[in-house]
Amino acid sequence: MQLTVLQAVIIILVTALATIISRFAPFVLFPEGKDYPKIITYLSKVLPPAMMGLLVVYCLKNASLFSESHAIPEIVSVAVVAIIHLLKRNVLLSIAAGTAMYMLMVQVVFK
């Protein structure tokens, strides 16, 4: 299906508008100096760990102990992320190191 120029422009404008609204809405809804609703405070505490847990489950959902690699790349990568995070307390560094370890093992070791 080929889009016309008008359709493409409309899609770009709607996307830009949605992006702008999503960026500025928190500042409009929760101005500085005003107390946040209790539900927002609660969600700000529980959602980050919940999302990390969800990502771990998603990343490990296809790991199989009965596959050719026996889930070794996944297990080692999770261990690298945990160890580096415990030592350095840097989320970006630990995720990057775990990703690099996984890619190294999948691309080189268990090729």
Domain positions in the chain are: 1-34, 44-109
Q: Using the predicted structure, report yes or no on whether residue 91 has a pLDDT greater than 90.
A: no
| Helix and strand totals (H; E) in the chain | 4, 0
Question: Which band of pLDDT confidence, cut at 50, 70 and 90, is reported for residue 101?
Answer: very high
In the prediction, which pLDDT does 9 show? 97
Return d(Cα 52, Cα 89) in angstroms, integer: 15
Instruction: Using a cut of 0.75, tell me whether the model's pTM lies above it.
Output: no
- What b/e readout covers 19-56, taking b as 16+ CB neighbours within 10 angstroms? eeeeeeeeeeeeeeeeeeeeeeeeeeeeeeeeeeeeee
pLDDT per position as a tens digit, 28-80 = 998 888 898 999 999 999 998 899 889 889 989 988 888 888 999 999 999 99
Whole-number average pLDDT of the chain: 92
